[in-house]
Amino acid sequence: MLVLQRGEADIVQTPYGRKGFIQGSEMKKQRESQCTQKTISLLSPLGTIQVRGCENGVHTIQILMDVAPAESRVLQVLLRDVKFGETVSYKRLAEMAGTPRAAQAVGGAMRRNPVPLLIPCHRVISSSGQSGPYMSGKGDHLKQWLLTHERQGREG
């Protein structure tokens, strides 16, 4: 199961990097104590989406998806460790996820990534530096655009 959560730091990973803001825990406690929190669960093609918040805003968002444990680990490492404007090879991502001989399995996890807008699989490239396929080859131009956009955003 893969859990994507927005919580303590109020930082959200997007295809364009980590966005959002960080609040001190005291401010967060104050904000939460001043409201009546509610949790709703929504069924989606991705899995169950749980949203917790109040009239002051959203406190957490969790997406609970059925993903194989090895794929979940790869997707979490990608989300956590490969920053905006950076790329990583399939082989290196496999090593980072603790499975150094599983570069092809990493490619499979990228193909089956259920939320490419949240988990930036476009940042995974071949060891030769070629961008490789994106969205089963149908989105190669989009992958190139995203990588160029992030590179320029990081430099500027």
Token pair, residue 75, equals: 């997707």
Token pair, residue 61, equals: 């968002």
- The catalytic residue among 77, 78, 94, 121 is 121
Contact 90, 107 (CB under 8 A): yes
Rg (CA), the chain: 17
**121 flagged as catalytic:** yes
Token pair, residue 33, equals: 């104590």
Count of all residues that appear for the chain in the document: 156
Q: How far apart are CA 82 and CA 58, in angstroms?
A: 26
Which positions ≥6 away from 46 have C-beta within 8 Å? Answer: 63, 65, 114, 115
Mind telling me the catalytic residues? 121
